[in-house]
């Protein structure tokens, strides 16, 4: 019997592991990384101390930040790459003692002495050991 109905397409797996977002290998090898920016000091007196920015860095390098000051809304800024954001808002204010913390726990600490320290994200076994999720 001949029908005009389209043939069904292959059904993909509905297993939870198969549904998790995956990083494409060529176009977006890094995926999206979210982060916060904490300033230990505020040399200009404009943005304040503590967590002042939340942001995300796309696989292409494009970076979007949301200033959390002034309350309640702040503002949003776009950068062609993460390095431009660092040059404008971190490196240009070396005495602020800026800490960038990524969603996986990795941190970059910009010391008031100009030093830059990279702390890797804690491993899953470390999180369990210290009461994390």
Where is 19: in which H helix or E strand? helix 16-19
* Nearest-angstrom CA–CA distance, 88 and 44: 14
> How far is Cα 64 from Cα 77, in angstroms, rounded to an integer?
6
Kind plus residue range of the DSSP H or E element containing 124: helix 124-129
Would the pTM of this model clear 0.75, i.e. be above it? no
pLDDT for 72 equals 76
Per-residue pLDDT, 26: 66
Domain map (residue ranges) of the chain: 33-129
pLDDT digits (tens, 9 = 90+) for 25-68: 566 666 799 999 999 999 888 888 999 999 999 988 899 999 99
> For residue 72, is the peptide bond before it cis, meaning its omega torsion is within 30 degrees of 0?
yes
Q: State the distance between the two ends of the chain, measured CA to CA, in whole angstroms.
A: 57
């Amino acid at each position: 019997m001949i029908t005009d109905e389209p043939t069904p397409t292959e059904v993909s797996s509905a297993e939870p592991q198969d549904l998790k977002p995956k990083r494409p290998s060529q176009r977006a090898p890094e995926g999206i990384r979210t982060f916060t920016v904490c300033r230990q000091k505020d040399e200009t007196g404009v943005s304040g101390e503590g967590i002042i920015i939340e942001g995300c860095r796309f696989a292409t390098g494009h970076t979007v930040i949301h200033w959390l000051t002034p309350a309640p809304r702040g503002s949003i800024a776009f950068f062609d790459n993460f390095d431009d954001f660092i040059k404008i808002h971190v490196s240009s204010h070396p005495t602020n003692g800026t800490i960038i913390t990524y969603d996986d726990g990795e941190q970059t600490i910009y010391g008031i002495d100009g030093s830059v320290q990279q702390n890797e994200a804690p491993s899953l076994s470390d999180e369990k050991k210290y009461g994390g999720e």
